[in-house]
Amino acid sequence: MKLCANFISTVVFFASVSSTLGSPYDSASTSSSGRDAVEPRRASSILINPAAQPDLPTVQAATAAASTVGLNLSDIQGDVLIGMKKKLELFYFFSIQNATAFKSKLKSDILPLVTTTTQLLAVSTQPITAVNIAFSQTGLTALGITDSLGDSVFSGGQFKDLTNLGDPGSTNWVPQFKGTGIHGVFLFASDTQDKINNTVSSLQSALGSSIKNVYSLQAAARPGAEAGHEHFGYLDGISNPAVTGFTANPMPGQAIVATGTILVNETGDSVKRPAWTKDGSFLVFRQLKQLVPEFNKFLTDHAIVEKGLTAQQGSDLLGARMIGRWKSGAPVDLAPLFDDPALGANPLKNNNFTFQHPDAILATNQTRCPFSAHIRKTRPRADLGIIPEDLANQIIRAGIPYGPEVSAAEAASNTTSTERGLAFVAYQSNIGKGFQFLQKTWADNAGFVHPEVGVDPIIGALAGAQRVVSGLDPTNSTKTLTLTTDFVVSRGGEYFFSPSLSAIASKLSV
């Protein structure tokens, strides 16, 4: 698979359609009255909608919720609050070559294509290809922005932060992520590859040499019944926080966060920021390679031995306990020994738990869910003794898998030969409290949430050192397991700021 696509060929191939620029809609559509045109131009949604993931609010419900806090959902880029629901998404990283030319194109050619939150909520208002844009610190600097955004993690860039994240140096990093050469990223989302290519090529013709494509990563929801599942096989995107002013009907057990936990300069964001940053959000991008056949071999080789379980069931149980959920999405806290697909598929029940049970001591008993489980490390719920729970360290996850399905040859050899993984995206108003905190202070910390529980067996990283995890065996919680392989390998990434549409129209393009 080609991870680093060269779009020159795309430009040539689609040269004939570059005249559709300025309209994100099908040429068949008669509508050309801009992004709020009511005439539908899609027959089906850009988004997947697995039963287990909470539905998005209707536009009416979201607008009503927004009005209670004075939020303008048409000013917020569409990806920020939507979560892990895209069918196909292209991450197109660029550098700015001519800031004067780029700023003028930003207003005339890019802004009209930028998809809003409101637009994505109904198929009838979705564009053919959704487009979002975000800038790194060096990108903002290239545009002549001298204001500090008040986030030192963002301004340093991700390359400088790699030690904090537990990465074993940068040897596994995609070369283009090393340093600060990436100025921005376009997110293109649609339901077919040709629609994405089409939009990319027309935008490239418009932008000409004002930018240069530095790197691209094409990502896609997995096929068929695996849609919504990450490459290890577990359903993802179940537990994103409900954001005040957007989520109309929080699901039982969903964390409810202040608007300003995700959106900059809104209630709950305590940092002083320049006024133009309002309703933007920091976008963390990480290309996380997943060693799937190797992970599966590990589960087979270390199957949990418990009365009444076959070897396969013991192996499935180990995997579920490492994540904290079964492949269906059912939490091990509520389904401790076997998967329960009906529970997994029910968003009214699949997030309704706290790790606290009347028959177990919260601080010591990990029979149901290991303290080190990925979902317990990244959202400890009742473990911290905070009522209702810790709400300061929450993110919206909006990533999507990339790379092909595991081939028969890879499965048979227990060895990855073609890269696949998670194009991880997280939105938050503060990277040091959001992504960086979850990775560094919780997942990588063997002493969180209690001493000696070990690191998160999925994403915990100790600069390449082998990882010791306890609590995975429900029959003996002091037994440890040593993970000699990192099944998730950081290929690096960058920190971006996803500005509001009004910031693009004013501060960034003039």
Q: Does 275 bind ligand NAG (CB under 6 A)?
A: yes
> Residue 98: how many CB atoms within 10 A of its CB?
15
CB of 73 to ligand NAG, least distance (A): 8
By CB under 6 A, name the one of 14, 94, 177, 232 that touches ligand HEM: 232
Residue whose CB is less far from ligand NAG, 272 or 307: 272
Please give the backbone phi and psi of residue 300, each rounded to the nearest 5 degrees, phi first.
-65, -45
Q: Is 339 a catalytic residue?
A: no
How far apart are alpha carbons 400 and 288 in whole angstroms?
11
Residue whose CB is less far from ligand HEM, 238 or 303: 238
Q: Which does 422 bind (CB under 5 to 8 A by kind): ligand NAG, ligand HEM, none?
A: ligand HEM
Residue whose CB is less far from ligand NAG, 266 or 494: 266
Tokens of 25: 């809609």
- Sequence-distant (6+) residues with CB within 8 A of 354 are 253, 381, 382, 389
Separation of first and last alpha carbons in the chain: 40
- For ligand NAG, the binding residues in 107-166 under the rule CB under 6 A are none
- For ligand NAG, the binding residues in 483-502 under the rule CB under 6 A are 501-502
Q: Which does 363 bind (CB under 5 to 8 A by kind): ligand HEM, ligand NAG, none?
A: none
Query: What DSSP designation does 130 have?
Result: E
Q: Does 79 bind ligand NAG (CB under 6 A)?
A: no
Interaction mask 237-276, ligand HEM, x per CB under 6 A? xxx-------------------------------------
In the set 151, 236, 339, 456, the catalytic residue is 236
- For ligand NAG, the binding residues in 82-101 under the rule CB under 6 A are 98, 100-101
Q: Which stretch binds ligand NAG (CB under 6 A): 80-88, 266-274, 308-316, 401-409?
A: 266-274
- For ligand NAG, the binding residues in 381-420 under the rule CB under 6 A are 413-414
How far apart are alpha carbons 260 and 281 in whole angstroms?
9
Tokens of 20: 């559709």
- Sequence-distant (6+) residues with CB within 8 A of 72 are 66, 279
Q: Does 229 bind ligand NAG (CB under 6 A)?
A: no
Interaction mask 289-318, ligand HEM, x per CB under 6 A? -x----------------------------
Q: Which does 285 bind (CB under 5 to 8 A by kind): ligand HEM, ligand NAG, none?
A: none
Q: Which does 230 bind (CB under 5 to 8 A by kind): ligand HEM, ligand NAG, none?
A: ligand HEM
- Residues comprising the chain, all counted: 510
Q: Which does 414 bind (CB under 5 to 8 A by kind): ligand NAG, ligand HEM, none?
A: ligand NAG
By CB under 6 A, name the one of 325, 349, 368, 420 that touches ligand HEM: 325
- Sequence-distant (6+) residues with CB within 8 A of 274 are 147, 148, 149
Interaction mask 479-508, ligand HEM, x per CB under 6 A? ---------x--------------------
Dihedral sign (CA 39, 42, 46, 50): positive
CB of 170 to ligand NAG, least distance (A): 26
Q: Does 403 bind ligand HEM (CB under 6 A)?
A: no
Q: Please name the amino acid found at residue 298.
A: F
How far apart are alpha carbons 78 and 283 in whole angstroms?
13
> Residue 499: how many CB atoms within 10 A of its CB?
28
Dihedral sign (CA 333, 336, 340, 341): positive
CB of 68 to ligand NAG, least distance (A): 14
How far apart are alpha carbons 333 and 155 in whole angstroms?
39
Q: Does 273 bind ligand NAG (CB under 6 A)?
A: yes
Query: What DSSP designation does 474 have?
Result: T
**Element (H or E) spanning 153, and its range?**
helix 152-156
How far apart are alpha carbons 195 and 204 in whole angstroms?
14
